[in-house]
Amino acid sequence: MADGAGKKDVGVSKRTNWVTDLVEWYDANRRKLPWRSRPRPYAVWVSEIMLQQTQVDTMLPYYRRFMKRFPSLRSLAAADVHDVLSLWQGLGYYARARNLHRASQLVVEQHGGRMPRDPAVLRKLPGIGEYTVAAILSISFEIPLPVVDGNVARVTARLWAIHDDVGRPATRKAIADRLTGPIQTVSPGTFNQAMMELGALICRPRDPSCGVCPLMKHCAAKRQKRVGDYPVKKKRKAVPQYDVVVGVIHRRGRILLARRPASGMLGGLWEFPGGKIGSEDATAYPDTLCEKILSETGVEVKVGERLCTIDHTYSHFKIRLHAFLCRAQAGRARPLASDEVRWVPPRELDAFAMSTVGKKIVAAYDR
């Protein structure tokens, strides 16, 4: 009798469930984040959209401001998209804001303002894909759908020494499949957040803290001393560089801004007129800029001194941007290559939603 009980105890302590170890670690080590206290679907949604391609520390101040201004799904749906973009200004990936705003309106129109609990229905909303469906439904409704973000892919690839490229959809699917069993043995919201938290705090891309990892004794990569070999991913290719010229165009104490088309890159944001140029000599920039401004806004300008040069990296290319002070000579401004053009008093520039580059030009102008 005593023998049998002893055997059982040994068995349990030697091979504890990795999910139990993970969740215990999470309960003791998780960060306190605003949407974690009592997860409402709307708060989880906003946080997950902001967290795409953006780290927690970067998005946190944006999140607080956003939730203060739009505390409910209905308040967001009722807002002007320009106000939503203004709050997103500087966070990047502006399509996320446009999609979130549009999707909130669809939830009000089609679902009475309540978040759908059906994965297939949720998935149809703009900006909501496989990952976001699983995140919202698991965290706010405890529905057992595993999320597979970069953190989870990395943790899982190491845990089971998965040698497939984690960037491929098939690998992501395989990882989700392997987590479908485990997630049903505990709170799904806790499981998913614990996996992501472990990836963010312990199982980091470089220099992971294996020594304090709750999954150390379960980890195949660690056992093989090959943690650095996982996850396997394809190298990203080099990005091209372009030169860009723009004009800060004055007329009667005002400055000309153009609003980019609503869809596409930096859609709906305001910018200084100008654009990408070829590899011509720098001495030709003023003439090129003059032509560009004329063809895009119908305004004839005299190009003056260079205001600033800004290097900026986007995800798929880099730019070296040269901003020139210009003076309008003739012509009425028309939105020939944009959705809208407007002459703006310099003091009001801050009220127009711009990308980080736009704000840098404004900052250089203010100096």
Active site residues: 48
For residues 273 and 289, give the distance between their C-alpha atoms in angstroms, rounded to a whole number: 9
* C-beta separation of 126 from 96 below 8 A: no
Please report the sign of the dihedral spanned by the C-alpha atoms of residue 259, residue 308, residue 367, residue 318: positive
Rounded to whole angstroms, the Cα distance separating 2 from 260 reads 77
Residue found under tokens 């605003």: 34
- Considering the complex, state which of residue 148 and residue 299 has its C-beta at the smaller distance from DNA: 148
Smallest distance, DNA to C-beta of residue 156, A: 12
CB of 167 to DNA, least distance (A): 7
Nearer to DNA, 58 or 86 (CB): 58
Q: What angle do CA 241, 244, 250 make, to 5 degrees?
A: 165
Q: From the CB of residue 232, how many other CB atoms can be counted at a distance below 10 Å?
A: 14
Cα 302-304-306 angle, rounded to 5 deg: 140
Nearer to DNA by Cβ, of 150 and 346: the residue is: 150
Q: Which amino acid is at 10?
A: V
> d(Cα 354, Cα 140) in Å, to the nearest integer?
33
**What is the distance between the alpha carbons of residues 53 and 58, in angstroms, rounded to a whole number?**
10
* Smaller CB separation from DNA, 18 or 314: 314
Q: Are strands 318-330 and 241-251 parallel, antiparallel or unpaired?
A: parallel
Question: Are the beta carbons of 62 and 91 closer than 8 angstroms?
Answer: yes
What's the angle, vertex CA 214, arms to CA 211 and CA 215, rounded to 5? 95
Smallest gap from Cβ 44 to DNA, in A, equals 13
In the complex, the smallest distance separating the C-beta of residue 126 from DNA, rounded to whole angstroms, is: 4
Least distance in angstroms from the C-beta of 240 to DNA: 10
Q: Between 57 and 305, whose beta carbon lies closer to DNA?
A: 57
DSSP 186-233: S-HHHHHHHHHHHHHHTS-SSS--GGG-TTGGG-HHHHTT-GGG-SB-
Between 6 and 228, whose beta carbon lies closer to DNA? 228
> Which residue ranges make up the site for DNA (CB under 7 A)?
51-55, 57-58, 90-95, 99, 126-133, 148-151, 154, 168-170, 172, 199, 205-207, 233, 236, 264-266, 312-316, 355-356
Name the strand (E) or helix (H) holding 328.
strand 318-330
328 strand-pairing partners = 301
In the complex, minimum distance from the CB of residue 89 to DNA, in angstroms, rounded to a whole number: 9
Between residues 128 and 179, which has the closer beta carbon with respect to DNA?
128
Smallest distance, DNA to C-beta of residue 3, A:
48
From the list 194, 195, 191, 189, the residue with the least C-alpha distance to 44 is 189
Nearest-5° angle of CA 149, CA 56, CA 85?
Answer: 95
